[in-house]
């Protein structure tokens, strides 16, 4: 039976220190992830500040549920518009996944084959093949970025401040002046030009304009109402986040002018939200579980998720449109996006039925950092839940942020499945950064070592009103801030 994404509206706790813009964790899974989601929310809010991001929006999918979604910081710094899970960002190269799905949908309909030559599908394709012994440039080789095509159309559209993206006509006009970089099926060479050409293939074989095809056959059926093949200019600086540059030496970021990818749309033009990309991921998990056909066949999606190309360096693997990587002994599929003012990421773990989205309205920081952090905390929580113990102590009394200066930014204490978790911030890996303590008596806890023996004491001190106001470790104390 098909499930639908449900966002739980009940707030199960107030996450200490969260700004009004930060969404609360929402538990809809059979697992009790609430302690983990609290850690994730606290970590994300802090890292938004420490990494000096304008804003970041995230979502975590568990099968058909949005397990967690939130926004931190600002969609527009000058206007003080808060970022949320429904904030729109440029998703740049994640656009390629929609083009790839469109290609495979047309393949399923018998309008093309993966071994078809691009030159046979696009009569105007006149890019020079400079290697006489090269194999053909096919749909498959373009989907796997092994076609030997150059990375870009011959225009400087990644150069600011104008970002002069070419039109479809301009791309065609200069294509004959470009040449292949390698023989086909020799090396991995990421190519925005290649996926742009596949967008043109969709138009050619379907007889429908690209944006209408994507809207009618993918976005509408999945109810992805805030996903577009362009950036909605009328919403810029509001629901559409303003993009910002990488950090300069003085720690500031500059706003980046709004751009439109124009002819590069199939490779880099889309915009979306964390919640819409969560729906896109949930559709894939649903199709893989239920089988049958929904937009494309389940067998086709499995085919897209499998590795079809491994670079000779054995470090880069690609499916049909999807990046494929090995994590914890299983395949993780997805794609990243990097456009002027925006970084985004989508990763799907089909076997665990989980997916992760991170969207940032700035350059210079990879969304993988936040995706990997969220995934690792959930994994740690699954083991901790099985070993959950009851505690006589009111663990919430100790929860809060404690001073850690000048040694680090701050120390956070949070309940963790019958124990206390202590996390120093900033932290690039919140799961490995958690130190766990077991309640002994009164306000005394002891560190749990990896072999489950107990280490040094963690002692909390209360003030005259019986509120915890200090934390003692190794004969030194930290003052509770909030």
* Predicted confidence (pLDDT) per residue in 39-84, tens digit: 999 999 999 999 999 999 999 999 999 999 999 999 999 999 999 9
Residue 331 lies in a domain: yes
Domain coverage including residue 236: 34-88+227-386
68 and 180 together in one domain: no
pLDDT digits (tens, 9 = 90+) for 375-387: 999 999 998 877 7
CA distance 105 to 202: 9
265 and 310 together in one domain: yes
169 and 59 together in one domain: no
Residue 11 lies in a domain: no
Q: Which residue has the tokens 């989508």?
A: 346
Place 244 in a pLDDT band, splitting at 50, 70 and 90: very high
CA distance 51 to 251: 10
366 and 232 together in one domain: yes
252 and 350 together in one domain: yes
Q: Which residues of 15-45 are buried (b: 16+ CB within 10 A; e: fewer)?
A: bbbbeebbbbbbbbbeeebbbbbbbbbbbbb
**Average pLDDT over all residues of the chain:** 93
The total number of structural domains in the chain stands at 3
63 and 107 together in one domain: no
377 and 237 together in one domain: yes
Residue 128 lies in a domain: yes
pLDDT digits (tens, 9 = 90+) for 176-212: 999 999 999 999 999 999 999 999 999 999 999 999 9
CA distance 53 to 456: 36
Predicted TM-score (pTM) of this structure: 0.91
192 and 258 together in one domain: no
Contact 320, 104 (CB under 8 A): yes
CATH number where 234 lies = 3.40.710.10
Phi, psi of 457, rounded to the nearest 5 degrees:
-85, 150
256 and 279 together in one domain: yes
Last residue of a domain, one of 364, 386, 408: 386
356 and 443 together in one domain: no
CA distance 74 to 215: 29
What is the pLDDT at residue 22? 39
Last residue of a domain, one of 356, 386, 416: 386
Q: Which residue has the tokens 């190519």?
A: 191
pLDDT digits (tens, 9 = 90+) for 309-364: 999 999 999 999 999 999 988 899 999 999 999 999 999 999 999 999 999 999 99
245 and 275 together in one domain: yes
């Amino acid at each position: 039976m098909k499930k639908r994404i449900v966002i739980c509206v009940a707030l199960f706790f107030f996450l200490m220190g969260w700004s009004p813009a930060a969404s609360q964790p929402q538990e809809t899974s059979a697992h009790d992830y609430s302690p983990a989601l609290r850690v994730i929310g606290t970590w994300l809010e802090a890292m938004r500040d420490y990494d000096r991001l304008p804003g970041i929006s995230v979502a975590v999918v568990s099968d058909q549920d949005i397990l967690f979604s939130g926004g931190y910081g600002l969609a527009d710094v000058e206007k003080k518009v808060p970022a949320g899970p429904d904030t729109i960002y440029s998703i740049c190269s994640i656009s390629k996944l929609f083009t790839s799905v469109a290609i495979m949908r047309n393949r399923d309909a018998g309008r093309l084959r993966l071994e078809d030559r691009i030159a046979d599908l696009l009569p105007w394709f006149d890019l020079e093949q400079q290697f006489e012994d090269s194999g053909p440039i096919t749909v498959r080789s373009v989907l796997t970025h092994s076609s030997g095509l150059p990375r870009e159309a011959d225009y400087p559209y990644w150069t600011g401040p104008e970002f002069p993206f070419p039109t479809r006509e301009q791309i065609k006009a200069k294509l004959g002046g470009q040449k292949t970089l390698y023989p086909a099926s020799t090396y991995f060479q990421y190519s925005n030009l290649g996926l742009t050409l596949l967008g043109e293939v969709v138009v050619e074989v379907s007889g429908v304009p690209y944006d209408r095809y994507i809207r009618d056959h993918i976005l509408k059926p999945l109810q992805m109402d805030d996903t577009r093949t362009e950036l909605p200019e009328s919403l810029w600086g509001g629901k559409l986040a303003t993009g910002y540059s990488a950090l300069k030496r003085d720690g500031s970021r500059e706003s980046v002018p709004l751009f439109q990818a124009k002819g590069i749309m199939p490779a880099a033009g889309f915009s979306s939200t964390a919640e819409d990309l969560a729906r896109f991921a949930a559709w894939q998990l649903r199709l893989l579980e239920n089988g049958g056909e929904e937009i494309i066949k389940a067998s086709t999606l499995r085919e897209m998720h499998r590795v079809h190309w491994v670079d000779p360096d054995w470090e880069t693997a690609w499916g049909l449109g999807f990046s494929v990587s090995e994590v914890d002994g299983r395949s993780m599929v997805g794609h990243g996006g990097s456009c002027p003012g925006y970084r985004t990421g989508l990763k799907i773990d089909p076997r665990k039925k989980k997916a992760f989205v991170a969207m940032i309205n700035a350059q210079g920081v990879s969304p993988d950092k936040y995706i990997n952090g969220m995934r690792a905390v959930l994994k740690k929580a699954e083991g901790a839940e099985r070993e959950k113990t009851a505690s006589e102590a009111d663990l919430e009394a100790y929860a809060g942020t404690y001073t850690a200066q000048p040694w680090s930014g701050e120390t956070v204490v949070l309940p963790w499945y019958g124990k206390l978790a202590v996390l120093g911030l900033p932290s690039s890996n919140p799961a490995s950064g958690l130190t766990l303590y077991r309640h002994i008596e009164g306000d005394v806890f002891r560190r749990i070592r990896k072999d489950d023996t107990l280490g040094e004491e963690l002692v909390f001190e209360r003030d005259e009103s019986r509120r915890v106001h200090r934390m003692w470790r190794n004969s030194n104390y930290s003052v509770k801030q909030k």
